[in-house]
Amino acid sequence: MARPLGRGPGRAAIIIFAALLAAQPVQAQRAAAPPQRPNIVLLLADDWGFSDVGAFGAEFATPNIDALAHAGMRFSNFHVSGSCSPTRAMLQTGVMNHRAGLGNMPETIPDAHRGKPGYDTVMNHRVVTIAQLLRASGYRTYLTGKWHLGSDPTRLPEARGYDRAFSLADAGADNFEQRPIEGMYDTAAWTENGKPATLPKDYYSSRFVVQKMLDYIDADRKSGKPFFASINFLANHIPVQAPDSDIARYSAMYQDGWTALREARAKRAAALGIMPAGTPMVTMPTTPDWKKLDVDERTAAVRVMQAYGAMATAMDREVGRLVARLKASGDYENTIFVFLSDNGAEPTNPFHSLRNRLFLGMEYDLATANIGRRGSFSAIGPGWASAAVSPLSGYKFSATEGGLRVPLIIAWPGSAKIRTGAISSGFAHVTDILPTLIDLAGVPGHGGTWQGRSVEPVAGRSLAPMLGDGGKSSVHGDAPLGYELSGNAALFRGDYKLVRNLAPTGDGKWRLFDIRRDPGETRDLSAAMPDRFAAMRADYRAYAKANGVLDMPAGYTADEQINRYAFEQQGKKRLIKLGLWVGGILVLLSALVWGLRRRRRARQA
């Protein structure tokens, strides 16, 4: 007779078998669940030259950025714009700067170009930002620091896809207090989520933008969503300022001047594998002769470079604090880190004219001992800028490699998709960052249509094929890629670069360089390769027509336009202060003359 199912070992076996069957779909479901999307941290430095990172050749300390470099990949042939806003627009959207509205910046655009298509001087509404794409796919999106892409309510970060943002709408500001760059702006236009914001009393720019980002990440952690954190440092934009302890760290350095530093950095970059050994270098015509400076000039120059190195180290320390927090929270392994600079080193000398020296002397403490400290105003100028971009030629504003080629690091510590400690010498461009990140994160793009309207298509290409083992040398191949800003222009194609620079960096003539073998742009190949030269000039004309590039007015230079902008923006303020200053001197002189006359009359009596 069959044993009843309700008793004995047979019943137990059936129960166990049924449990195993029930468990199988759950196990299969767990195995098939997609991995959690990575967090993304975008670290954007301001005005750092090509060799301003230890892992690219710098002598000052950047151990935390170097650690990211060794945890991921360094790009030694990565290009941006020659100035901040156009780069930031391309970084945010993957669209070329003219088509994104940044054919020029408010501070450098000539009057003749204002209002023309592509010359909005703000990021237009025909583009989609990376924050919008990521938020639509379930990301938390945050931004802290410099924005400089528009200040009206429809153009601030929270209107362009960011859940939370504490941002500066201007090109720069003081690093120790809520103060604008005097002479450029009336106020330091900081806002939080679209409303005017007040900085804390213990504010220092690099520390603040990182702490605010950590606060944002922690505040929404319970949501379980991945985050996109865009941290936009003010370091090392003018004014160069750093904590006293960091400046003291470099008190024995830079005595030999910028030419010696430029040569030393070139050697370190070659030893690191960033640059070819023996890369030839030019001496820029705007670089002063260190040996001809007097003692006081050298002392001030040494001090400003010490402050510059200190400012970079202070920023790096905050990167380390961010990474340490992400390690402690368990986020580090599944976070993609991207570090880059917005353009090459800043060569502007704010004290080049008597007018500027008088005005800045009334606004700041310009004593040599105060350089880099609270209340100071200083800049490294063209001499140290030539060392910061070593071994390249030129610097910010120009279309030279020193203006356009900057350090790029991409790391994803917990993923095998990025080779660790690798260096890529293949050409890459700032418009490639957006498609790279959404590719790695598995987020769809927009294909030229977004939320039912036509938008500018992404111009960049994902760098993912260059990141893994056996990756491509470049995703651009022999395709032409054009660029223009303030009349300085370039056309990249394979290993070659067609370039034109206006004064003071250049003479307005087109030249051709092999930038893989000659990154210092020392050998013009236009005569030796006439067919390539002609073909690439035709490529540039096609780019300029498609992007609505305008010719610059005769005699234009970005440096002079910035000074003109500052004087026009703050003319009344400057004139009043100058008038008071001159008036005060006249009063003192009058009093002195009156006193002398009184004494003379007293003696005669």
Which residues are known catalytic residues?
84, 148
Using the structure block, give the residue that is written with the tokens 């997609």.
Answer: 34
Q: How buried is residue 255: exposed, middle or buried, by Cβ count under 10 Å (0-12/13-18/19+)?
A: exposed
Contact 568, 111 (CB under 8 A): no
Q: Which of 460, 551, 556 is nearest to 79 (CA)?
A: 460
Distance from C-alpha of 239 to C-alpha of 285, rounded to nearest angstrom? 24
The DSSP bridge pattern shows strands 335-341 and 39-45 to be: parallel
Three-class SS state of 548: coil
Terminal Cα distance for the chain, rounded: 150
Widest pairwise Cα distance in the chain: 150
Three-class SS state of 29: helix
Distance from C-alpha of 88 to C-alpha of 341, rounded to nearest angstrom? 10
Q: How buried is residue 40: exposed, middle or buried, by Cβ count under 10 Å (0-12/13-18/19+)?
A: buried
Distance from C-alpha of 464 to C-alpha of 440, rounded to nearest angstrom? 7
HEC sequence for 269-280: HHHCCCCCCCCC
Distance from C-alpha of 57 to C-alpha of 391, rounded to nearest angstrom? 10
Give, in order, the Cα–Cα distances in Å from 551 to each of 103, 286, 391, 507, 547.
11, 24, 30, 15, 12
Contact 310, 16 (CB under 8 A): no
Burial 71-107 (b: 16+ CB within 10 A, else e): bbbbbbbbbbbbbbbbbbbbbbbbbbbbbbbbbbbbb
DSSP 443-511: ----TTEETTEE-PPP-----HHHHSTT--S-SSTT--EEEEETTEEEEEETTEEEEE--TTT--S-EE
Using the structure block, give the residue that is written with the tokens 């990182």.
Answer: 210
Contact 310, 247 (CB under 8 A): yes
For residue 341, list its beta bridge partners: 45
Q: How buried is residue 391: exposed, middle or buried, by Cβ count under 10 Å (0-12/13-18/19+)?
A: buried
Give, in order, the Cα–Cα distances in Å from 350 to each of 72, 247, 355.
38, 21, 10
Distance from C-alpha of 204 to C-alpha of 346, rounded to nearest angstrom? 21
CB atoms within 10 A of CB 62: 27
What's the CA angle centered on 344, arms 254 and 183, to 5 degrees?
85
